[in-house]
């Protein structure tokens, strides 16, 4: 905490990064450093690393490890929230780390502190490796958040397609269609901001870390979130990114048509 507090700006903002499957400690720290540099991060970056095997063949073992790490992530978030100098905590979770993050937020909500005493700010779930039905059941407990919840998806995510097959062909949140009627209903009910990265072209052969391989996207996403907060409202709805990662508004009349 002394290290965190010594780096805080007057805004008192911290960003906690929770890595995904097949990612060891060193890789997670490197990924957070890359995100911080490419996005021009103003928050103090904090990496929460859980014991991934770092082997693509150990999917099931990694999934069990995140369940064992829930209490430790909760402890970390509470530790940050107790500091009077920390005013906002942003959460950025990738892949299987999104499942760990969501389970932790459910636990906090059931204990009556779902928003960490009002300090939990934007929640970003990148390529979340979560069963769609499980995700909706989690949010049925968490409820509509007062701050932004951003979900980054890519319908050509090969890693999530593999996860889908392992899970009995159940769609993963990170590869779902944002214009599916069920998705539109969830976006409206819980106030999600969904950004579709399917068109973004990067060097990632699995299409699972597109967000991290596009510095322009990371910079624009940060501005997109802050602009919504400055206007006093969350940027709710579905948006698409072009091949270069620029965020474009999905025409609202399309969402209305799908909803009808």
pLDDT in tens, 186-234: 999 999 999 999 988 888 888 888 888 877 788 777 776 666 555 555 6
Q: What number of other Cβ atoms are within 10 A of residue 97's Cβ?
A: 31
Closest CA to 3 of 93, 115, 85, 69: 85
| Start-to-end CA span in the chain (Å) | 50
What does pTM read for this prediction? 0.90
Closest CA to 128 of 68, 159, 172, 163: 172
d(CA 84, CA 96): 31
Question: What tokens appear for 97 in the block?
Answer: 């780390």
9-13, 87-91, 215-219: segment of lowest average pLDDT: 215-219
pLDDT tens-digit readout, 42-86: 999 999 999 998 888 888 888 899 999 999 999 999 999 999 999
For 102, the 3-state DSSP assignment is helix
CATH 3.40.50.1820 is held by the domain 2-259: yes
Maximum mean pLDDT: which of 22-26, 83-87, 156-160, 225-229: 83-87
Domain boundaries, the chain: 2-259
């Amino acid at each position: 905490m002394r290290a965190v507090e010594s780096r805080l700006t007057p805004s008192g903002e911290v960003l906690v990064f929770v890595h995904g499957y097949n990612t060891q400690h060193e890789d997670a720290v490197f990924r957070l450093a890359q995100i911080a540099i490419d996005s021009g991060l103003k928050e103090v970056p904090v990496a929460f690393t859980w014991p991934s095997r770092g082997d693509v063949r150990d999917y099931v073992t990694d999934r069990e490890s995140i369940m064992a790490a829930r209490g430790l992530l909760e402890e970390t978030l509470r530790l940050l929230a107790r500091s009077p100098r920390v005013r906002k905590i942003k959460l950025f979770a990738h892949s299987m780390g999104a499942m760990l993050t969501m389970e932790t937020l459910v636990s906090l909500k059931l204990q009556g502190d779902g928003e960490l005493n009002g300090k939990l700010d934007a929640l970003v779930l990148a390529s979340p490796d979560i069963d769609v039905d499980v995700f909706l059941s989690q949010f049925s407990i968490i409820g509509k958040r007062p701050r932004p919840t951003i979900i980054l998806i890519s319908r050509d995510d090969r890693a999530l397609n593999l996860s889908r097959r392992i899970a009995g062909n159940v769609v993963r949140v990170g590869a779902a269609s944002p214009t599916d009627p069920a998705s539109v209903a969830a976006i409206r009910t819980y106030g999600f901001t969904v950004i579709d990265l399917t068109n973004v072209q990067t060097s990632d052969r699995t299409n699972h870390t597109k967000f991290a391989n596009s510095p322009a996207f990371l910079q624009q996403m940060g501005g997109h979130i802050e602009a919504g907060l400055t206007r006093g409202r969350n940027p709710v709805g579905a948006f698409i990114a072009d091949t270069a990662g620029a965020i474009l508004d999905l025409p609202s009349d399309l969402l209305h048509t799908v909803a009808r």
